[in-house]
């Protein structure tokens, strides 16, 4: 067993290129011709991959289409389709035992959203999503077509999922509709319409991945940035790989402190560790990563560790069974985790005979979601929660607008 301790994390960078800003401004107009918003999130970061930057426009869209502001799950006017579907993509990277408790916990907090877990590699998941979209279209037979707008953060798998939906909905050989990449930022503009179904007609638009303009201050912002960088949601090179490796080591120890997934990388008989340098040295020696002078290549080992988790290690970590947790100092409650966003104390009453483990997990997740919402609302209310880069951009735009108005006034005279 190893005691997991959060490592020191770097200040998060600001990465919000112009095409992201452009799409954010376009969104309200796009929603006017949208019937379904298909929001893709990452199952490993089901809270961190929520893009609250877009939520204001989505809320206004729902209200304009007749959803009750006092009862988010009730619609008073239903002339045309207006649905918000959340897909937790890459479901293979989180343990199965937490999916249903999470879905129920989110349904309590966000009753207006349909939520499902999916993986483009599972035909049943793609078929289920395709049927949901087709059934929504059938509920409005007077409509000529159903338009779906796909949104989400960078590298959550929007284009890949759309390609899978097209192949499922259009019979016969179909070309790959969208280019995909393991790096964020491949899609930089709104796509042309992609046909997902012939009868009824369902079309989809792919959109650029939109990052948060500012990841936040303090430990919360630092951890948010590292999480997104680990799933390759932030441009490569903005983070030092050692920082990502240190956080990954910490998280894998939280998820399974007795037999963390990374043990499969180390020499036989190795014990769990929370020391990054010790771990990387063991990994480098096991993989033969030796530089000139018989010195172990720790930098190369860190890169390998992060890449291993993205491609294989996440699957291995997700295969672990539910355990009561054991990562805690003497006298403190053990810790249990699910994905990289959920962590809670395991109390004695949680394991009493007769208590439903799934219900306990759901209650714990509800508290985590409440904490997330409280912190997010507090950050949004903080006037200083803006990055220096965004402040500079705002000042430049304001100066340009002043000059434009001044020039217009001169022309009038």
For residue 191, name the pLDDT band (cuts at 50, 70, 90): low
- Give the per-residue pLDDT at 323: 63
CATH number of the domain to which 46 belongs? 3.40.50.300
> Do 164 and 281 lie in a common domain?
no
Do 228 and 198 share a structural domain?
no
3-state secondary structure of 101: helix
φ/ψ region of 321 (left if φ > 0, alpha if ψ in -120 to 50, else beta) reads beta
**What DSSP designation does 86 have?**
E
Is the per-residue pLDDT at 90 higher than 90? yes
Among residues 324, 346, 368, the one where a domain terminates is 346
The least confident of 147-151, 338-342, 408-412 is 408-412
pLDDT at 279 > cutoff 60: yes
- pLDDT above 50: residue 185: no
In angstroms, the CA 198 to CA 203 distance is 9
CA distance 232 to 183: 6
Number of domains present in the structure of the chain: 2
Q: Do 201 and 161 reside in the same domain of the chain?
A: yes
pLDDT band for 413, please (50, 70, 90 cuts): low
Task: With CA atoms as reference, report the closest residue to 1 among 247, 260, 251.
Answer: 260
Q: Indicate if 112 and 44 belong to the same structural domain.
A: yes
Is residue 119 within 8 A of residue 89, CB to CB? The reply is: yes
What residue numbers bound the domain in which 264 lies?
Answer: 218-346
**What pLDDT is attached to residue 136?**
96
Max CA separation in the chain (angstroms): 84
Q: 54 with 121, same domain?
A: yes
Peptide bond between residue 357 and the one before it cis (omega within 30 degrees of 0): no
| Confidence category of residue 284, pLDDT binned at 50, 70, 90 | very high
Distances (CA, A) of 402 to 389, 394, 396: 20, 12, 10
- Does 400 map to a domain? no
pLDDT at 208 over 90: no
**Contact in structure between 33 and 144 (CB atoms under 8 Å):** no
Domain endpoint, select from 181, 205, 229:
205
Q: Round to whole Å and give the CA distance between 74 and 94.
A: 31
pTM of the model: 0.84
Q: What is the DSSP letter of 257?
A: S
Instruction: State whether 190 and 324 are in the same domain.
Output: no
């Amino acid at each position: 067993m190893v005691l997991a301790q959060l490592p020191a994390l770097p200040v998060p960078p600001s990465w919000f290129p112009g095409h992201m800003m452009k799409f954010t401004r376009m969104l309200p107009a796009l929603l006017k011709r949208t019937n379904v918003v298909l929001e893709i999130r990452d199952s490993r970061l089901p809270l961190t991959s929520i893009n609250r930057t877009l939520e204001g426009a989505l809320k206004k869209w729902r209200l304009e289409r007749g959803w009750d502001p006092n009862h988010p799950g009730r619609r008073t006017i239903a002339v045309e389709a207006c649905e918000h579907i959340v897909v937790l993509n890459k479901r293979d990277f989180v343990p199965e035992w937490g999916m249903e408790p999470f879905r129920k916990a989110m349904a309590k907090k966000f009753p207006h959203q349909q939520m499902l877990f999916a993986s483009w590699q599972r035909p049943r998941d793609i078929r289920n999503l395709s049927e949901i979209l087709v059934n929504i279209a059938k509920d409005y037979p007077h409509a000529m077509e159903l338009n779906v707008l796909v949104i989400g953060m960078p590298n959550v798998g929007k284009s890949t999922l759309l390609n899978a939906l097209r192949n499922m909905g259009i019979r016969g050989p179909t070309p790959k509709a969208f280019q995909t990449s393991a790096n964020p930022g491949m899609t930089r503009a709104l796509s042309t319409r992609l046909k997902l179904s012939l009868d009824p007609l369902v079309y989809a638009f792919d959109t650029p991945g939109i990052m948060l303009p500012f990841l936040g201050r303090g430990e919360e912002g630092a951890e948010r940035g590292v999480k997104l960088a680990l799933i390759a949601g932030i441009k490569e090179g903005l983070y030092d790989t050692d920082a990502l490796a240190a956080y990954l080591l910490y998280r894998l120890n939280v998820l399974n402190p007795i037999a963390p997934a990374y043990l499969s990388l180390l020499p036989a008989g190795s014990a769990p560790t929370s020391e990054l340098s010790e771990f990387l040295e063991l990994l480098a020696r096991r993989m033969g990563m030796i530089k000139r002078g018989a010195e172990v290549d720790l930098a190369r080992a860190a890169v390998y560790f992060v890449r291993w988790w993205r491609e294989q290690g996440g699957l291995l970590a997700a295969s672990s069974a539910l355990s009561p947790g054991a990562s805690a100092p003497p006298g403190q409650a053990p810790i249990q985790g699910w994905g990289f966003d959920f962590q809670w104390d395991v109390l004695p009453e949680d394991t009493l005979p007769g208590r439903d483990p799934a219900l306990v997990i759901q209650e714990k997740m509800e508290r985590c979601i409440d904490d997330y919402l409280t912190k997010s609302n507090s950050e949004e209310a903080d006037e200083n929660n803006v990055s220096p880069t965004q402040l500079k951009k705002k000042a430049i735009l304001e100066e340009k607008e002043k000059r434009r108005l001044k020039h217009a006034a001169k022309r009038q005279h």
